């Protein structure tokens, strides 16, 4: 087990996703500040946050629970990204880049969950 959450590879990738989401949402319309901008940022940041919270739990079962929440938040993030594309807040290049990143995080989360179940 890692000595700090910062050494967990899936956390690193999820943190990168959050940073990228914050960067692209800076250009969203001002009237979305408390709408889609906030929801997208919240769902994206929930992914590494739940990884960190689960990491500090005492059992693998508890950790798995938080990884499941992280995975659910990741799916929510994917929807918010699609909505952002459809509303023309993201261009295709931004959307594809972020979607690729969410897919990578998802695969890493799945692998980490399988490892903890073993």
- For the chain, what is the domain count? 1
Whether this model's pTM surpasses 0.85: yes
The CATH number for 17's domain is: 1.20.1440.60
- The C-alpha angle 53, 40, 81, rounded to 5 degrees, equals 120
pLDDT tens digits for 100-112?
999 999 999 999 9
Is residue 107 within 8 A of residue 67, CB to CB? The reply is: no
Q: What percent of the chain has pLDDT over 90?
A: 92
CA distance linking residue 90 with residue 67, whole number of Å: 28
Is residue 64 within 8 A of residue 50, CB to CB? The reply is: no
Using a 10 angstrom Cβ sphere, with 0-12 exposed, 13-18 middle and 19 or more buried, the burial of residue 7 is exposed
Domain extent for 69: 5-117
pLDDT tens digits for 3-58?
789 999 999 999 999 999 999 999 999 999 999 999 999 999 999 999 999 999 98
């Amino acid at each position: 087990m890692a000595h700090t959450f910062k050494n967990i590879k899936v956390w690193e990738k999820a943190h990168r996703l959050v940073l990228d989401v914050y960067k692209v949402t800076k250009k969203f319309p001002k009237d979305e500040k408390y709408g889609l901008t906030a929801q997208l940022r919240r769902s994206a940041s929930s992914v590494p946050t739940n990884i960190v919270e689960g990491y500090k739990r005492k059992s693998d079962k508890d950790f798995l629970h938080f990884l499941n929440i992280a995975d659910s938040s990741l799916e929510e993030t994917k929807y918010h990204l699609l909505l952002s594309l459809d509303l023309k807040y993201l261009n295709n290049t931004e959307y594809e880049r972020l979607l690729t990143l969410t897919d990578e995080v998802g695969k890493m989360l799945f692998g980490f969950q399988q490892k903890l179940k073993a």
